[in-house]
């Protein structure tokens, strides 16, 4: 079954599998959103069902909540648990300081709240997300629907005052209608090409009325697990200052490899 995985799916799978080893019995766990995080939820589901692993997950989207329920991973809300031991999530880009762009799946708001409420955040990814400088991936910004065109104009004005190379701001669509987040908001994708100062940009964006949150995760991620198509993973821990490479064995669980999420 594993032989049917594309190199990208294999990379995502082995990253998730290695990161699942950080999960200890009794942990309160932030469950990310996206295709890489979906692998994690499936792997955790197997451990819960097969090994009796006891964990409680806080999903970062309605999609992840549905998958966790389907896989038998017990879930709770952040209001119930208040603080988490670990969050494992994907990313759209990460730089050498492990600053991130997230929100490609539109779940950046819950993802950021959950990651910020965790002792530790680990990102799982394939090699394509690594960049020297953030910004090639359009930066998602969640805005409330009320007056969103005014908010967009204010964002465009702000982009003229910060160190970026592009200024196109595009309303995210889902078919013919605007994409709607789990909180009922809209997403504006900022095509910036290069973000010279992510911290300054994040602060500037979040000061604009109508902006709920932006997809820059600054000083939130502690470690990244980078999967490769041949099963190799690289673990970079920014806190410990360590880089380790390991080979991960893909297992032949039919359950896991059917219906690849997202």
Active-site hit among 46, 93, 111, 213: 111
Catalytic, 213? Answer no
Long-range contact list for 76-84, CB < 8 A, 24+ apart? 76/28, 78/113, 78/114, 78/117, 81/28, 81/56, 82/117, 83/28, 83/117, 83/118, 83/119, 84/28, 84/29, 84/30, 84/58, 84/114, 84/117, 84/118, 84/119
Task: By CB under 6 A, tell whether 187 contacts ligand 5RP.
Answer: no
Task: By CB under 6 A, tell whether 64 contacts ligand 5RP.
Answer: no
- Of the candidates 120, 129, 136, which has an alpha carbon nearest to the alpha carbon of residue 96? 129
- Closest to ligand 5RP by CB, 210 or 215: 215
**Distance in Å, CB of 210 to ligand 5RP, minimum:** 20
**Distance in Å, CB of 89 to ligand 5RP, minimum:** 5
Task: By CB under 6 A, tell whether 156 contacts ligand 5RP.
Answer: no
Q: How far apart are CA 260 and CA 126, in angstroms?
A: 16
Task: By CB under 6 A, tell whether 90 contacts ligand 5RP.
Answer: yes
- Closest to ligand 5RP by CB, 154 or 205: 205
Task: By CB under 6 A, tell whether 172 contacts ligand 5RP.
Answer: no
Q: How far apart are CA 226 and CA 127, in angstroms?
A: 6
**Distance in Å, CB of 147 to ligand 5RP, minimum:** 24
Residues recognised as catalytic: 111
Chain positions contacting ligand 5RP, by CB under 6 A: 32-37, 89-92, 102-108, 111, 262
């Amino acid at each position: 079954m594993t032989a049917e995985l594309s190199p990208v799916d294999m990379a995502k799978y082995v990253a998730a599998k290695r990161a699942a080893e950080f999960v200890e019995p009794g942990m309160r766990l932030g469950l990310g959103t996206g295709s890489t995080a979906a692998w994690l939820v499936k792997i955790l589901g197997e451990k819960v069902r097969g090994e009796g692993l006891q964990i409680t997950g806080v999903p970062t989207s309605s999609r992840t909540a549905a998958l966790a329920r389907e896989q038998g991973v017990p879930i709770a809300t952040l209001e119930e648990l208040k603080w988490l031991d670990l969050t494992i999530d994907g990313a759209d880009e990460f730089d050498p300081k492990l600053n991130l762009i997230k929100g490609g799946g539109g779940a950046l708001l819950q993802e950021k709240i959950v990651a910020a409420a965790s002792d530790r955040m680990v990102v799982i990814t394939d090699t394509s997300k690594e960049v020297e400088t953030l910004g090639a991936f359009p930066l998602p910004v969640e805005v409330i629907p009320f007056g969103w065109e005014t908010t967009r104009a204010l964002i465009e004005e702000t982009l003229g005052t910060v160190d970026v190379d592009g200024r196109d701001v595009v309303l995210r669509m889902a078919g013919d209608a605007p994409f709607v987040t789990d909180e009922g908001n809209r997403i504006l994708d900022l095509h910036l090409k290069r973000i010279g100062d992510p911290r300054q940009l994040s602060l500037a964006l979040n000061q604009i009325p109508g902006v709920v949150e932006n997809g820059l995760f600054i000083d939130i991620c502690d470690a990244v697990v980078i999967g490769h198509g041949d099963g190799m993973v690289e673990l970079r821990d920014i806190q410990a200052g360590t880089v380790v490479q390991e080979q991960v064995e893909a297992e032949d669980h039919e359950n896991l490899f059917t219906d690849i999420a997202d």
